Amino acid sequence: MDNLAFIRDTMERAGTFTAVSGWGMVIVGIAALTAAAIAVRQPTEVGWLNTWLAAAVLAPLIMIAAIIRKARAARLPLMSGAGRKFLLSFSPPVIVGALLTIELYRLGMYAVLPGLWLLIYGTAVVAGGAYSVRVVPVMGLCFMVAGAIALFTPPTMNDFLMAAAFGGLHIAFGIPIARRHGG
């Protein structure tokens, strides 16, 4: 029995986190496109920031619900080896991004935020994606490229880049993930 437990534990640690929900990503992408449409119409920078922060709070809630639903349907343990590694790799960059957002807000440096958000989110996806299906880290790299572009383009492009990345990339990668990996 000890040998079986050891083998099961070893296989869990070596596995990939397949509960990433492609359909959840599509819904997050639609929410981001909606946020971009609202943010671009905001008369103040604070209104713009609040719109994107609302989307940033909503997106993880959508993904957590979608991941839980997919994991339950497939009878996959969420906090097994690969799921735990995904979470532990994904979370630190997101926490860093939240802390830097607070400081950049305090300094009034709104124009830097889209590039920062895209780069840090991309970093989180690449790091967590190391324990997921192969296409996830590729998506993270695409977010990082969008972030680099956002840092060096005029601020008037920010909402377009945020819509293209947070909206378009989630949808473009979410559909194939849903089709190939069961939702």
Q: How far is CA 95 from the centre of its chain?
A: 12
Mark 136-159 as b/e (b = at least 16 C-beta within 10 Å): bbebbebbbebbebbeeeeeeebb
Q: What is the pLDDT of residue 169?
A: 97
Least confident of 61-75, 97-111, 146-160: 61-75
Mean of the pLDDT values across residues 33-58?
A: 96
Q: 3-state SS string over 79-114? A: CCHHHHHHHHHHHHHHHHHHHHHHHHHHCCCHHHHH
Q: How confident is the model at residue 18 (pLDDT cuts 50, 70, 90)?
A: low
Q: CB count, 10 Å around CB of 72?
A: 11
The position carrying tokens 């959508």 is 62
Mark 94-133 as b/e (b = at least 16 C-beta within 10 Å): beebeebbeebeeeeebebbbbbbbbbbbbbbbbbbbbbb
Mean of the pLDDT values across residues 1-22?
A: 56
Greater model confidence, 125 or 8: 125
Mean of the pLDDT values across residues 28-37?
A: 97
pLDDT at residue 9 is higher than 60: no
